[in-house]
Structure formats: structure tokens, C-alpha cells
Structure 1
Amino acid sequence: MERKLAAIVAGDVVGYTRFMEADEAGTYAALQGAFCDIIEPALSRHGGRSFKNTGDGFLATFPSVNDALDAAIEIQAGFAEHPLKLRIGVNLGDVIETDGDTFGDGVNVAVRVQEMAEPGGIFVSAAVVRSADRNRAESFRRVGRRRAKNIAEALEVYAVRLDRPSGVGRWLPAMRARRAAPAYLAGAAALALVAVGFLDRPWLSAFASSTFDNVLRISGTAREQRPTIAVLPFDDMGEAADDQYFVDGLTEDVIAALARYSDMQVIARNSTFAVRGQAADVRELGRRLGADYIVEGSARRAGDQLRVVAQLVETKTGAHLWSSSYDRRVDDVFLLQADLAAEIVSHAGSYVRQSEVAAVAERPTESLQAYDLVLRARTQYRHGSSDGDALLASRALLLRALELDPGYAAARAELGKTYIVDAVDGLTGRAATLEIETGLSEARQAIRLEPNLAAGYQILSFGLAAKGDYREAMQAGIRAVELNPNDPDSLMALAKAQVRFDRYADAVDNAERARRLHPLAPQYYIAVHGQALYAAGETDEAEAVLAECLLTAPDEPNCLLIWSALMADLGRLDEARAAMDRLRAKNPALSIASERNYRRFGDSPLMERFLAALARAQAPETADQASGTAAAKAS
């Protein structure tokens, strides 16, 4: 008898008894053929050993989690065109091997996880996710905590995304080498058709479920080599005291250039700029930012000459992988950005397609003065600030940039954002609702000038949502993520829209990805993440995320609102009502009627359950009722 740690794969045919009743001989022959042509070759190819055949299923053990996952993915691909459908569960745990059989909790959990899986799907335990190669991280989608028969504690379960390139790439070459592989190749061809169909689909095509799935495939692609890179703000080594905005602008544009490469993940600008001036070991910075590599450097502008020094550091070891210096004229700044981005990508272990290099190297404007004004405008006002004067100053700079170059698309998009933000947040106290239309007009014009401007679609989505055109806002958000899969603001905006359209699991995935790309994100990110988890029914996770939000920002309105509903759903009414009291003190106009009009969960059944939860938390029915209650308390 030997006890050891092993990866266990459990497979079971869905509806086998029903098929046997309808056609016993045909079903038996089909299953035996599947074992011979699909299951057993896959197990053998990945080092697995079948220790039990259950008639309509199997149990197998593997020396590693990654081999078990590869085998499970290959098996499901083989069943893609098969009349029988399989459920697969994978677990990593202690087992006991004796006389050719395998027993223990590791086996039991694998079987229970398999029973939870969807037909044609693969569910895995949290132990599998923790032990899998890091480049598989985004191949898993959290399902949540599930109770299982004869298992004392709830299991944390994940689904394997079968449309991920990382899942396909490892087993496809081996399948091509086999003569008897029509079912496998049909499954691979189906995946290829999905990808081609997505790339050819216009962004204004039918508003269908498959569109969202394809966007998620792009926005969360897990590749064989998909490094995460953080670009720290370059040091300003120039003599002019006011040149910092130019150096910061250069850093931002390098980040934006890198973000266009879907072969890597790029940490958001706000997170990297938040660590400016903090003396820390590069390995510690990598841990805080969740980055495999850090780019750091300096820039010096003297007259029309620009010198940039940059280096790439691996955060795990602190090793310097590459460094380079560039001496250019200031009017070559766009070419400099392209060179930096291309070298960083290539030295991080990825590759750069020539078409992408050309796209990054395109000059957004022929006027360096207009570019300079846009950089000053970005520095003057950042989205999320409540400074109305700064917003107006930023708008004035953008208008001057457009006087110099009316075709500068990025300037038009930024200008549109100032109008929409002011109309939504009332920063200056002068904006009317009509200014949303002004902002939308600028965003649309920016897109006409530069059809692949991700920021244009992001601002268009923002304005359409503010106007109440949620369906079109969703379409614009999808396009923004297509064009820039590494922009956390676009991902978070899409997640918020997906909650409204009953795409809860997708919303959770996008919110989580946005937070990974922006580890020092504002509270808004945490609030949307918590709302998505609440909508998806992932109660424990929602409670943890919302508690995190309220710990750091006790009066954050969106977190208080969802927390109040969640506590009411859990029967913890005292906590629900305490949160509601704090929320009403922060937002006296809150009412069930206002939430009903806002439709944060769209027209789904969840919307009514949410409103009922707010009622149990003692939210007022109308704004008038809220005012009356407040007046009564005051007297």
C-alpha cells in the first residue's frame, strides 16, 4: 500500500442509461469505440493510468496536474462531434494505491467535481488551479463554492475554458499525427471557425451571446508565453522644471503602445504611477503590481533633442534582461515609442507582427505642439477627479490642440470625455444633459478619423450608457476591448454592462481581469467586481470583495448598496439596515423607485429580487418618502 499525491481525472457519460434503453447495441458500440479511439490514447499520451472502468465512465491517475488537464482537454475535443457527451472532473489530492487500484479523498473529490460539471465540460478543484502552470491562469473560470455529497466542506470549483489557445496548443500537434483523428480535427476546425467568424464580424452586427464569449476569449487570452509587464514612470532628467508632464506623457504612450499587443498583459498607468518615488526592491515592486517584468528608464529633453534610456528587469530574480538608449529629435517621438514597444515585447519572450509594429508607429498627429497640448491636458485632469476647474482647463488645452490639428482623433476623444464627465458628475455645475450629445459627437468623430482608436469606443460607450442607450453602449464597449484587450477601464466598463444584460459569469471574469491589470485601482473597480459576484450568485466571494471595499472606503455608495442587499438576502437584517442607514446619510435621494429606474440589473429576474432585498433593508420606496423620514428624524 502506497500513499502519494496524485492528479485524478474522473469521466462519466451523460444520459448513458437513457441511450442504452433506446439502443443498447449501438450505444455500447459507440462507447467502446470512444474508449479505444479517444480516451485510452489520450490517457497514454499524457502519462495517465486508468485504474477503474465504471461501464459508462473511467477514473485515471496522472503524475502531474498539467498532464491531467491536457488529457482532459484532448478527450473533450475528441467528443466534440461524438453522439455521446462526457463530463470530466479533475482533482489533486492524497490517494492510496494498492493492488492496481486507487482510493482516498483525492478520488472522491474528483468524482464529486465531475458530477457538477456541465455536459461536454471540465470542472476542477481549487487545488488544481493552484498547482497548474501559471500560463494557464486565465484558462479557468470560477464557478463558486459547491456542496458535495459526503464531503464535509464546500468545494471551490472552477470550469476549464475549452476555447482557450493554451488549452488547444499543447495537444493539437499530437492529434494531427494520428491517422484516426476525424473527431479531434472536427473539434479543432470548429474552434477555428469561431475565431474566424469573430474576426470578420462587424462591430455593429447582431447582438448575440456568442459575441460576448468571443470578446472574453480575446480579453482574457492565455498564451503559452503571456508575460505581465509594468512600465514605471520614467525619470525626468531634463533641466526644465516643467518637463515632467512630457516625460509622463511619453511613459503613458509607451504603455498604450504595449497594451495593443495581445501577447502580453500590461499593468495600468494609474497603478504604476502610484509607486513613483517609492524606494523598493524591483522584486517587491513586481509582487505588488503582479508583474513578471518591469520597464524603468529616464528621459532628457534639451531643445529639439530627446534622449531616452530604458531597461527591462525580470522581477523574479531582479536580473537586467535588456537596456538601450535612444537619441532622437523631439519630432521623432512617435517612432521612438514604437521602437521602445517593439524591443520590450521581443525581449520579454514574445513576438511582434509587422502589421502591429506599423500600427503602433502611425503618427497620431503631424503637430508636435498639438501632441504637447494633449499631454498637458491629460496631466491637468484625470478621470475620477472632482476638480471642475481642472476639467475646464483640460478642455481648453484640448480645444487649442484641435485648432492646430482638427484631425487629431485622440484629442477629439479626450474632449468628448470632458463633456460627458461634466454632464454625468456635475463637476462644474454648468453642464446640461445636452452636453452628453456634444461628447458623443466628438467621440464619433474621433472614431471616423481613426477607426481603430480604442479610447474613442470607450468614451462612446460611456456616453451612450449615460444617455440610457445600454445596448449600443455594450456594443461600443465590446469594440473597445477588441481593440485594446489590456485596457482595464474598458474591461471594467464592459463588466458593468454585462451585469445589466444577464452575463454574470462573464462580468466576473472581466472585472477580475481588470483588477489584475490595475492592482492599485480605485474603489469603483472593487464595487463593480462585488456587484458582478453578487449577480452571479457567488455569495461568499461577493461578501469578501465588498467587505474589502468597505474596509478601505466605509462610505462608498455602490459598495454600501450591494452590501445591504446581500446582507438582506443572507437574513442578516441588522447589518443590512445599518448599511442602508449609512448609505442614506451619504445619498439622501436613494430610493427603491430610483433603483428601479436605473435598472442596474436590467430586465432580469434578479432585478426584482434585488429591489425586494432593498425593501427588507428598509430602503424608502420613493424620494419623497426618504425626505419625509429624514425630516421626521431631524425634528
Structure 2
Amino acid sequence: MERKLAAIVAGDIVGYTRLMSEDESSTYAALRAAFSELINPLVKKHGGRTFKTTGDGFLATFPSVNEALDAAIEIQNGFVERPFSLRVGINLGDVIEDNGDMFGDGVNVASRLEAMAAPASIFVSEAVVRSADRSRSKLFYSIGRRQAKNIAEPLAVYAVRLEREPAPGRGWLRRMVLRRGAALPVAVGTAGLVVVAAFTQVPALRAIGADLTNGLVHLTGGEPAAGRPAVAVLPFDNMSGEADQAYFADGLTEDIIANLARNPELQVIARNSTFALRGQAEDIRRIGERLGAGYVVEGSARRAGDQLRVVAQLIDARSGAHLWSRTYDRRVEDVFALQTDLTAEIVSHLVSYVRQSEVSNAAERPTENLQAYDLVLKARDRYKHGSNDAESLMAARALLHRALELDPGYAAARANLGMTYIVDFLQNVSGRATRTDVETGLSEARQAVRLDSNLAVGYQVLSFGLSAAGDYAGAMQAAGRAVELNPNDPDSLMALAKAQVRFGSYDEAVRNAERARRLHPMAPEYYTYVYGQALYAAGRLDEADRVLRECLIRAPREADCLLIHTAVLTQRGDVQGARRAMAQLTQVEPQFSLATERANRRFGNSPLMDEFLSQLAEARAPDVTSGVRQRHFRPYL
């Protein structure tokens, strides 16, 4: 026996058993051809050796991570033209070699990564990312941490970006599947996931996210990495007959969105964009077009005493066709207890590679106290982030304190409570907040992430608080963690983009701001400002000018857009236009001055910060403030 470090590739054909049951001879011939014409030659080409095959799967070892990556990417690209999908996992770790076979954690982790991977994708471990050539750094994007069977610590998982051209083989496979009526279980499973999300705040979709992605990919004809399906969840109708129960239906909708958004292979439209369409009697196809969504989820919730009825349906927004619908009648007290049963029911409709351990992970409970959960829903309904209603903020804070009296370990309640303190200071909502409120908010946020290390909103609140406290490096790290945990949350993406601008990662900031705007088509002008600021910082002045002019057409008194537009105009040589923009800014914000901008370090300590200040000075920005602070200015961002 020999112990050594090895790069291990694990591959597995998806749906092989089902296809065998439908057409045994053709499927077997296609499988043998895939191995003899594609997999085996490419493994050998890159210096690898296949040490185990399992009918429709294989394990191979390579002399280096880079060779393993090259082989896996070539193999995946080759499968585009074949009637199968392949999923691949790659790990670098210790193995024991005995008579040509290999054992140990290095092999086990590769196999677990393969089991987690979406069809037609490659998942790799952190060790692979660290060991790959620097030139490959942009090849990877984070999936987050995932628990794997028989492995104590959650794995940091990354996906490999695959760029492909559409191939005839995929169209042939889709036609074959649709002829056999195989799309129906996918639709059933997809909509079922939505209903489960309605019953919980925890990441119930984490374990079966890849399966949901695969189902939607087959329906859309796209690839997981390149053409992710976009889903919009419209606000559920309150059918209780009592207006004061509307918060419950809204809370369920928000939880559906939050849980779907945890899946990095989906694009999930932001809550504020979908809620903006509440009550509009538009054709579902028009709604999908406005939101940029291929699929729309809509439904209703009726709560009467301890009885709960939830109706959900999934609609193809392009055709208006109803793909699936179902009604659930439950007791309110059974909402969390039923999650395991409901998850198992949904999994039964999905492809067979979902592991039972992953299913059980979806049964975690955010709180044992349903009254505490109800209070958090009421608090979220009472105060919406960005509002300047002091009375609503204080009412929401009181509700969250009551929730924590009932369950001090309720992480989401602590995160939301922390947000009320930090927002009050940053936006001057009550007019009474001090630095002590920031420390209080930070304390709550830190407790939240200690209670639940996978709570994305906890890290988002932590990022806001650290920014308010002046710890910009910490704020960027926290925002990055929030995005890692919830890649579809536009507020977290914008927080990260702002931090990246401050620390000089301008191109990355542009990409994150663009993505946030796609996920929030009806976003406030703040999103436009951040995008324009990132474009300015990246030197893309023509684009920045266009974006900021759009902002000022919609909101001529938007101070942040006026500020960055002033710098853009100065740098482009339009000094007179820059001075007009500065005059508008000082009229809107009498408290604006170069001194405040210098202290706020909008672009951190980079050379751009000095250039920015010089451009403002050339546009005749006042040296010191000429008035009192107005509530809607955001010098802290």
C-alpha cells in the first residue's frame, strides 16, 4: 500500500437507469460509446488513469489538479453532443493506493462533490481552487458550504464555469424526453419545492437545489452555468378575509423567495420587484416579460385559527401554461414538523441521485416557537428596509424583542433586530440614534451568525454595521459571505459591490452591481447609483454617463447620482456641465462638502479617491458644509 496526494475526478451519468428502462439497447450502446470515444481517451490524454468504473460512473486519478480540470472540462464539453448529462466532482487529497485501486478521504470527497453537482456541471473542493494555476482563478465561483454524508465538517464547494455552444444532441435528448412525457415529474417537483419553502425560513432547498435546477434547465433548454432559469414569486394572496392577516401571506412569500435564492444555479427575482406588481391584473406573460422571468409562482394563503390552507401553482411565463398546482391543508402548529414529510414527497418526483442525508438536512427548524416566528413575520411586515417611518421602525423593534423573549436562540430574529439599530443610525430614521446603536446592532448580528453560521441575512446586517463602524475590510468580508450563502440576494450583491469599489476591485463591482439590477428590475435609484459609481471607478465613463443620466431623468434630485455624475462630467472634460450638476447637488444637499467626502472615503484609500476629490473641486464643490444634514443623503455608503 502507498499513501500519496492525488487529484481525483469522480464522474456519473445522470438519468441512465431511467433511459435504460425506456430503450435498453440504444442507451447501453450510447453509454459504451461515451466511455470508449470520449471519457477513456481524454483521461489518458491528460495523463490520468481510470481506477474504478461503476457501470455509468467512473473514478480517475491525475498527476496534477490542472490536468484533472482540463480533462473534466473537455469531457463535459464532449457530452453536449451526447444523449446523456454528466456530473463531475474533483478533489485534491490524500489517498491510499493498493493493487491499482484507491481509497481514503481524497476519493470520498470527490465522490461527495460529484453527488452534489448539477447535471452538466463540475463541482470542486477548496483544495482544487487553491492548487490550480493563478491564470484559472476566474474559472471558479463559490457555491457555499454544504454538508456531505459521513464527512464531519461542511465542504466549501466551488463550481467550474463552462462555456459551450448549443449542440444538436441536447435538442435530440429534450425531444426524446418530452415525447415520453418526462417533463411532468420535473414540473411537479419544481412547484412542490416552492410549497415547502412557504413553510420554513431555513434553507430547505439547499439539499435539492441542483435537482430543481436540472428540472428547470430541461424545461428551458438552457445550461445551468450559462443560462440559469429565472423564477419570480408573486406575493401570495391573503384569503383569510381579514386585512390584519396579510402579513402572514407576505411572510410566506418572502420565505419562498429567500429559500429559492440560495440556489446559485437559479436567478430569483427580488422581493421588492415582484411585490411592486401586487394587485395588477396583467397577463402572466407580460409579468414575466417585465420581470425578466421564464417562470412565475403564484398562490394564496388562508389562515383561520389553527388551520392553514396554502395553494401554489407554477406557470410558464412565456406561454402562460399552468405546469402544476396543488392545495395543502395543514394545522398551523404542524408547519415545521411536516417539513420532512413534504420534502420526501417532493424528492420522490426528482431524479434519483438526491441523497437521504441531504433530505434530512432540509428538516432543520428556524425556531421551536411558532409565536416567535409569527412575531418576526409581523416585524418584517411593519418595517421595510429603506423606509424613513420612525414609528414603524420602533414597532418592528418591539416585536423582535418579544420574539427573542420567547426564543433567545432565534438567529433570524436577532439579525432583523440588529438591522433596526444600524439602519436607524445610518439613515437617521428616529433622529436619536448614536454610535452606541451601531454597537448594539453589531452585537445582535454577531450573535445571529454564531447561532446560525449559514444565515445570509446575518452577514448582510454585519456588513452594514461594520461599514457604519468604519471597518471596511470587515464589511467587505461579511458581504462576501452573505453573497456566498445567498447568491441571488440583490441587497447583499450591492453591499459587496460598494465594498469592492472602496477597495479597488472595480471590474468585480461592476459585475455584482449588474447582477443585482437584473435580479431587481424595479430597484430603487440607489441601485443605479451604485452601478454608475462602479462604472466610473472602472473607467467606463460613457456607460457611467448613460446610466447616471437615466437615474436623473427618473429622479432629478437623487443626490448620489448627481455626485458621481459630477465627477464623470469633469473627467470627460465637460466642466460646465459638471458645475451645473454640482450646483444642483448643493441645492438638494446643503450639507455637502469636500470635507465630508474626504472623511467618508467613498473610494477608500485608493489613488482614485484623490482624483475624485480633485474632480469635485474643479466642479466648484464647497470646501465645508453650508447647511444641515438631510435624511436622504447617504455619505456613509
Q: Name the TM-score class by shorter chain.
A: 0.5 to 0.7
What is the match of residue 392 of structure 2?
390
1:270/1:521 contact within 8 Å kept: yes
What is the match of residue 492 of structure 1?
494
Q: Does 1:524 align with 2:430?
A: no
User: How far did residue 361 of structure 1 move?
Assistant: 3.4
Q: What SS class does the counterpart of residue 311 from structure 2 fall into?
A: strand
What is the match of residue 441 of structure 2?
439
Q: Does 1:305 align with 2:211?
A: no
Q: What SS class does the counterpart of residue 243 from structure 1 fall into?
A: helix
- Equivalents in 1 of 2:590, 2:71: separation in Å? 49
- Equivalents in 1 of 2:237, 2:561: separation in Å? 37
Q: What SS class does the counterpart of residue 408 from structure 2 fall into?
A: coil
What is the match of residue 126 of structure 2?
197
User: How far did residue 622 of structure 1 move?
Assistant: 2.8
What is the match of residue 171 of structure 1?
77
Q: How does 1:126-525 map to 2 (within 5 A)?
A: 170-171=76-77, 173=79, 195-197=124-126, 214-215=141-142, 223=225, 226-334=228-336, 357-525=359-527
What is the match of residue 599 of structure 1?
601
Q: What SS class does the counterpart of residue 520 from structure 1 fall into?
A: coil
Q: What SS class does the counterpart of residue 623 from structure 1 fall into?
A: coil
Q: What SS class does the counterpart of residue 125 from structure 2 fall into?
A: helix
- Equivalents in 2 of 1:197, 1:313: separation in Å? 38
- Equivalents in 2 of 1:390, 1:577: separation in Å? 39
Give 1:296's aligned amino acid.
Answer: E
TM-superposition CA deviations, 1:337-365 (whole Å, max 9, x none):
78889999999999977666545432111
User: How far did residue 219 of structure 1 move?
Assistant: 10
Residues 542 and 167 (structure 1), Cα distance of their counterparts in 2 relative to 1, 3 Å cut: farther
Q: What SS class does the counterpart of residue 460 from structure 1 fall into?
A: helix
2:231/2:296 contact within 8 Å kept: yes
Please point out which of 619, 622, 635 is paired with 2:621. Answer: 619
1:219/1:481 contact within 8 Å kept: no
- Equivalents in 1 of 2:486, 2:510: separation in Å? 19
2:404/2:414 contact within 8 Å kept: yes
TM-superposition CA deviations, 1:595-622 (whole Å, max 9, x none):
1221111122211111111111111223
User: How far did residue 593 of structure 1 move?
Assistant: 2.1
1:253/1:337 contact within 8 Å kept: no
Residues 364 and 608 (structure 1), Cα distance of their counterparts in 2 relative to 1, 3 Å cut: same
Q: What SS class does the counterpart of residue 306 from structure 1 fall into?
A: strand
Of all paired residues, the percent bearing the same amino acid is 61
Q: What SS class does the counterpart of residue 571 from structure 1 fall into?
A: coil
Q: What SS class does the counterpart of residue 171 from structure 1 fall into?
A: helix
- Equivalents in 2 of 1:470, 1:327: separation in Å? 48
Residues 472 and 587 (structure 1), Cα distance of their counterparts in 2 relative to 1, 3 Å cut: same
State which drifts further: 470-479 or 215-224. 215-224
2:594/2:623 contact within 8 Å kept: yes
User: How far did residue 534 of structure 1 move?
Assistant: 0.6
User: How far did residue 223 of structure 1 move?
Assistant: 1.9
What is the match of residue 104 of structure 2?
none
Q: How does 1:3-82 map to 2 (within 5 A)?
A: none
User: How far did residue 170 of structure 1 move?
Assistant: 4.7
Residues 224 and 599 (structure 1), Cα distance of their counterparts in 2 relative to 1, 3 Å cut: closer
User: How far did residue 328 of structure 1 move?
Assistant: 1.2
Residues 492 and 370 (structure 1), Cα distance of their counterparts in 2 relative to 1, 3 Å cut: same
1:257/1:337 contact within 8 Å kept: no
1:331/1:368 contact within 8 Å kept: yes
Q: What SS class does the counterpart of residue 528 from structure 2 fall into?
A: helix
1:225/1:349 contact within 8 Å kept: no
What is the match of residue 218 of structure 2?
none
Aligned length: 451
User: How far did residue 276 of structure 1 move?
Assistant: 0.5
Give 1:196's aligned amino acid.
Answer: S
- Equivalents in 2 of 1:416, 1:454: separation in Å? 14
2:295/2:315 contact within 8 Å kept: yes
1:499/1:532 contact within 8 Å kept: yes
Residues 200 and 498 (structure 1), Cα distance of their counterparts in 2 relative to 1, 3 Å cut: same
User: How far did residue 575 of structure 1 move?
Assistant: 1.4
- Equivalents in 1 of 2:626, 2:367: separation in Å? 52
1:346/1:352 contact within 8 Å kept: no
User: How far did residue 172 of structure 1 move?
Assistant: 5.5
2:375/2:403 contact within 8 Å kept: yes
- Equivalents in 2 of 1:350, 1:504: separation in Å? 43
TM-superposition CA deviations, 1:11-67 (whole Å, max 9, x none):
xxxxxxxxxxxxxxxxxxxxxxxxxxxxxxxxxxxxxxxxxxxxxxxxxxxxxxxxx
Give 1:310's aligned amino acid.
Answer: A
- Equivalents in 2 of 1:457, 1:485: separation in Å? 13
User: How far did residue 262 of structure 1 move?
Assistant: 2.0
1:226/1:350 contact within 8 Å kept: no
2:123/2:159 contact within 8 Å kept: no
Structure 1 vs Structure 2 CA RMSD: 3.8
- Equivalents in 2 of 1:400, 1:475: separation in Å? 31
- Equivalents in 1 of 2:520, 2:348: separation in Å? 23
Larger radius of gyration: 1
Q: What SS class does the counterpart of residue 330 from structure 2 fall into?
A: strand
- Equivalents in 1 of 2:71, 2:534: separation in Å? 26
Give 2:530's aligned amino acid.
Answer: V
1:245/1:375 contact within 8 Å kept: yes
- Equivalents in 1 of 2:528, 2:592: separation in Å? 21
Give 1:171's aligned amino acid.
Answer: N
- Equivalents in 1 of 2:293, 2:378: separation in Å? 28
Q: What SS class does the counterpart of residue 308 from structure 1 fall into?
A: strand
Give 1:299's aligned amino acid.
Answer: A
- Provide runs of 4+ in structure 1 moved above 4 Å: 163-170, 172-176, 192-195, 198-201, 209-222, 335-360, 624-627
What is the match of residue 588 of structure 1?
590
Q: Structure 2: 5+ residue runs without aligned partners?
A: 1-44, 48-68, 83-90, 93-109, 111-120, 131-135, 145-157, 162-223, 630-637
2:567/2:578 contact within 8 Å kept: yes
Give 2:125's aligned amino acid.
Answer: V
Give 2:577's aligned amino acid.
Answer: E
TM-superposition CA deviations, 1:415-463 (whole Å, max 9, x none):
0000111111111111111110100000000111111101000100110
TM-score, with length taken from structure 1: 0.65
What is the match of residue 553 of structure 2?
551
- Equivalents in 2 of 1:164, 1:385: separation in Å? 50
2:139/2:160 contact within 8 Å kept: no
Q: What SS class does the counterpart of residue 372 from structure 1 fall into?
A: helix
- Equivalents in 1 of 2:348, 2:488: separation in Å? 18
2:315/2:323 contact within 8 Å kept: yes
Q: What SS class does the counterpart of residue 432 from structure 2 fall into?
A: coil
Residues 569 and 474 (structure 1), Cα distance of their counterparts in 2 relative to 1, 3 Å cut: same
TM-score, with length taken from structure 2: 0.64
- Equivalents in 1 of 2:554, 2:348: separation in Å? 39
- Equivalents in 2 of 1:359, 1:395: separation in Å? 31
